[in-house]
Structure 1
Amino acid sequence: MGHSFAALEEQRLLLQASLDGLKTQAARNKLGQFATPSALAQEIMRCAAALMPAGAPVRFLDPAIGTGAFYAALRTVFPENQVHEAVGFEVDTHYGQPARQLWQETGLDLTLADFTRQPASPRFNLVICNPPYVRHHHLNNDDKARLQLSTIRACGTKMSGLAGLYCHFLGLSHAWMAEGGLAGWLIPSEFMDVNYGQAVKRYLLEQMTLLHIHRFDPSDVQFADALVSSALVWFRKTLPSPDHAVTFSFGGSLSAPKLIRVVPASALAREAKWTRFPATDIRNNDSLPTIADLFKIRRGLATGNNNYFILSNEEIRARALPLECFRPILPSPRYLTTDIVEADAMGLPVLEHRLFLLDVRLSEAEIECRYPRLLAYLEEGKAQGLHEGYLCSHRSPWYSQENRPPAPIVCTYMGRGDAKSGRSFRFILNLSQATVANVYLAMYPRPPLAQALKREPALIRRLWQVLNQITPEQLLSEGRVYGGGLHKLEPKELAKVPACALLSLISN
């Protein structure tokens, strides 16, 4: 055809920037519209060329083509006579109509329609897509039911009701692929860890031959306006062999990753958290002791409104509120400069700025009689509509709090790698009677440990020291990560961290 695809790609990039500028970031976030960077699209297409049979005719499909980043890469990487067909779908005419005009003379069949509603034609041997990252709560119930049914019909897998739209795009594409066809999906890496991703992983392991998952370094966000960590998933439409193994890589570039490991598919079927790879090896013994053997772990309490329910000592005095209706609470981790919280004679934390949580279960009539200043403060909260909020409206009385006793050790719930220690999570020895909010995980000793601590109270400090010797890699392999390097540990994830050294302390 003689087209200059390099020149057309330059036009596309200008067009993309112009069209993005006409939409708010919030609007694009809601629709999951995060354009693939041009350099990344070309790198992905070069990987596709290496995985395709040499010289094989290419029938290309992009179910969410946008302005055509992958199509431009296709025509740059593959010889013109090798591309026999190229089809794309785009639901948003804001991007699709200008893109169709841009590529109209290059052989691209770009349809302005919702891919999830199109009748399938199983003839494509190369499917490359960056699907819309629309979270489930932006899908109405009718759409969820329709998508679940369509995905079951397409690939035999029922996606969770919590699955994002990208999961359905991936499943629906099954019916469009030719046998032996290759697919490369640029999707959020969270499917590798979260519960709704189980169906996706089962599909990839049982109905496809999963080839390679490359996880991009979360500190190097692929999409500057999307707080997600991305993965590139390669697979073929063919049943896997019994001894099949999958390549996992991390960081660097697709052609030169920082880490790489080959994992048997049989091991992946038993592993709940795929983001452990390639940094860690296969679990060889599921009976190893974990933190859950010693501690019951609970998320800190959710107040309903921290600014209202958590007050400083100075604020309480200024309002003449009764201190006996408050209990101490640790500040947010970013304001806690120590990893050991000492206590005074009353059990209050020895901190420069003490915070207290309003937590009273007296009725308003009793409060009016005993603490009229506190009643006035509650009326201020009601005037703000706090009593009608989700959490407060489900409590009786609305100003009471969850039962979350002080825990001797707490762990931060979210964090980024500390520049000095390299640690994303902190274990804090809490010798005070302060409770914690939901930015912490509270660790309560189970009965055997509690009995040992009664006999030897100093043991808690040694346990805390051993917890802080757990490597960042061990913690991160159980947690999850988001774009920009933000890490998170849920209670069940912290509970799974190996704890052999902790148990040896108890036995000794």
Structure 2
Amino acid sequence: MGKIQERPDGQGQIMIAGEDELAALAHTLITDKRRLTKAERDLVSTEITFTEAELAEHREAIRAGGDPLGEAFCSIRSPEVRRGQGATYTPPAIVNAMISWASGEETEPVRIVDPGAGSGRFIAAAARAFPQAALVAVEIDPLATLILRANATILGFVERLTVAIKDYRDFALPRVDGPTLFVGNPPYVRHHDIERSRKTWFTEAARSFGFPASGLAGLHIHFFLRTRQIARPGDYGAFITAAEWLDVNYGSVLRKMLADGLGGASLHVIDPKARPFTDALTTGAITCFRVGKRPAHFTMRTVDSLDQLTPMTAGQAVDWPTIEAAPRWSIFVRHGAPEHRSDEIELGELFRVHRGQVTGCNAVWIEGPQARALPPRFLYPAVTKARDLLAAGVSLADPAALKKVIDLPVDIETLPADELKAVKAFLKWARKMEANKGFVATHRRAWWSVGLREPAPILCTYMARRSPAFVRNRAGARHLNIAHGLYPVQPMSDAALDEIARHLNETASMASGRTYAGGLVKFEPGEVSRLRIPDMSSFGATA
């Protein structure tokens, strides 16, 4: 027996100490090992063994509908590590609701495809609901596929199962006589962690359909696009993903897909406060589609809890011309969105809203001991954290309370000799800190020049569990990318600026922002620009 230990909760359930033991346990539970790939076999240590009682315990838990090996996987491999592959396992309530929706379609699927199968939660539920269908699980992690095979062995659908250990974007699907159900939780990986070659694939694939493409699209959008490539008319599906695509620019490709050949049928947004994924701070939206058979209306709703998901036929029917004309889709599912008044205008008519500058390496560019010899004229008081604004209240008046950001000129060779000597000494240290190698630094005109914006007369926070705080910037502070700056498009008096900041603090609603799991609300510059204020005649104090 390996290092398996009894759990201290008195329930007699064993605790798996590491991935090697988890792989060995899954391997032991698999009866027919002939289908295992080399990648899976390489994970297995034959020196780790288990008692028959331990094996029986896991078989019983799996037959009862549990996923003990998947739970162990999520416990052993931390959310931070799993995030790199987008491995967020789906709660049973969501799985069951999505399979229930598929069960209500007119024609049963002859094949089910899960593009990011993990431990097989969707595949197992689909196997029960559709006992004649072929099952295809696509997954890049061989440890996850070992677990999936073990579950399939115990639940009795291993003979119907095909496991493909590869990237879904490379997966080819042969034709079958009948509909395919695509169902699952595509991995959520942000664009920063997607290889350039994959972004090129995404752009070219999207353009082949005439869709707009953005390199900022996350991996879940890539999976939707691959589904659009390999699915055929008559197929249908349901994916749960993060909900940001409803509003952000990179989500436009999915919005176009649903309006086009992917055939959007319904959308079910889970209120972020419900925490659809307990180990990931992300939103949840279930998108149902019928390939080549777009209904006349797209059914949309928000649910406050997971137990409200079923039946997934409920919601507001919105006609497609209305949806396609909307720049953001969250307006159709948002709770508590403020009403617009005829005597109001959008903030963006009077201000340009700019996110603060990204330094690329705060440890270097926010003043520290190494910057003491630099000329003071290159050190700028700046808002470097949100609490700088929250602590200031309605007005930021004292720059002495702020940290300073180093912003050197692009052309340092024209500096006086004494200043140039100090700057070069600092840059020598900055290179040792590799401040010249990051993405941000290598995309600047000069890697050492942060490029701070001029002081904005109004600053605002943009991510918190509250509405934004709007603060008058009387200190003339610069701001980093933890805040937004509001810049008037025309000169404006102090009295008018004071009144606008006061109005925004009193009226800005959390419903106007983008809500993430756990109630964290984010306001992008565009969302701040769309906040409503009275027209300027109400202020009576323009310059």
TM-score range, shorter chain: 0.7 to 0.9
Aligned length: 472
Deviation (angstroms), 1:43: 3.1
Higher relative CO (CA 8 A, sep ≥ 6), structure 1 or 2? 1
**Matched residue, 1:444:** 487
**Matched residue, 2:456:** 407
For residues 340 and 399 of structure 1, do their structure 2 counterparts lie closer, same or farther at Cα, with a shift above 3 Å needed? farther
1: CA distance, partners of 2:212 / 2:164: 27
For residues 251 and 84 of structure 1, do their structure 2 counterparts lie closer, same or farther at Cα, with a shift above 3 Å needed? same
**Matched residue, 1:14:** 68
Question: Normalising to structure 2: TM-score of the pair?
Answer: 0.74
Post-superposition Cα deviations, 1:116-166, rounded to whole Å, max 9, x if no partner, equal 42233253353321122344444434444556666778x775754443333
Q: How does 1:307-346 map to 2 (within 5 A)?
A: 307-311=363-367, 319=372, 322-336=375-389, 337-343=391-397
- Secondary structure, aligned partner of 1:198: helix
**Matched residue, 2:508:** 471
Paired AA for residue 308 in structure 1: V
Q: 8 Å contact 2:357–2:481 — kept in the other structure?
A: yes
Deviation (angstroms), 1:204: 0.7
Match of 1:46 among 89, 100, 109: 100
Deviation (angstroms), 1:35: 1.7
Deviation (angstroms), 1:294: 0.6
Q: How does 1:249-264 map to 2 (within 5 A)?
A: 249-253=302-306, 255=308, 261-264=316-319
Q: 8 Å contact 1:363–1:397 — kept in the other structure?
A: no
For residues 311 and 149 of structure 1, do their structure 2 counterparts lie closer, same or farther at Cα, with a shift above 3 Å needed? closer
The gaps in structure 1 that reach 5 residues or longer are 344-348, 418-422
Paired AA for residue 62 in structure 1: D
Q: How does 1:156-235 map to 2 (within 5 A)?
A: 160-174=214-228, 179-235=233-289
**Matched residue, 1:386:** 435
Q: Is the counterpart of residue 97 in structure 1 residue 152 in structure 2?
A: no
2: CA distance, partners of 1:389 / 1:236: 43
**Matched residue, 1:63:** 115
Deviation (angstroms), 1:228: 2.5
Q: 8 Å contact 1:159–1:200 — kept in the other structure?
A: no
Q: How does 1:293-304 map to 2 (within 5 A)?
A: 293-304=349-360
Deviation (angstroms), 1:383: 3.8
Q: 8 Å contact 1:159–1:167 — kept in the other structure?
A: no
Q: Is the counterpart of residue 485 in structure 1 residue 539 in structure 2?
A: no
The gaps in structure 2 that reach 5 residues or longer are 1-57
Post-superposition Cα deviations, 1:384-410, rounded to whole Å, max 9, x if no partner, equal 333454444555665444251111111
Post-superposition Cα deviations, 1:234-259, rounded to whole Å, max 9, x if no partner, equal 122343355x24222243236369x9
Q: Point out the more displaced range, 89-98 or 263-272.
A: 89-98
Q: 8 Å contact 2:94–2:306 — kept in the other structure?
A: no
Deviation (angstroms), 1:62: 2.3
Q: Is the counterpart of residue 430 in structure 1 residue 479 in structure 2?
A: no
Post-superposition Cα deviations, 1:400-451, rounded to whole Å, max 9, x if no partner, equal 44251111111113x221xxxxx2311111112211112111111112xx1x
Post-superposition Cα deviations, 1:274-296, rounded to whole Å, max 9, x if no partner, equal 12332267999999731111112
Q: 8 Å contact 2:508–2:531 — kept in the other structure?
A: no
Paired AA for residue 435 in structure 1: R
Q: Is the counterpart of residue 240 in structure 1 residue 294 in structure 2?
A: yes
Paired AA for residue 355 in structure 1: K
Q: Point out the more displaced range, 271-280 or 372-381.
A: 372-381
Post-superposition Cα deviations, 1:17-62, rounded to whole Å, max 9, x if no partner, equal 344456464553222222212333123323433x334x95765332
2: CA distance, partners of 1:490 / 1:87: 41
- Secondary structure, aligned partner of 2:478: coil
For residues 9 and 174 of structure 1, do their structure 2 counterparts lie closer, same or farther at Cα, with a shift above 3 Å needed? farther
Aligned alpha-carbon RMSD (Å): 3.9
2: CA distance, partners of 1:68 / 1:391: 39
For residues 310 and 142 of structure 1, do their structure 2 counterparts lie closer, same or farther at Cα, with a shift above 3 Å needed? closer
The percentage of aligned residue pairs carrying the same residue is 25
Q: 8 Å contact 1:463–1:502 — kept in the other structure?
A: no
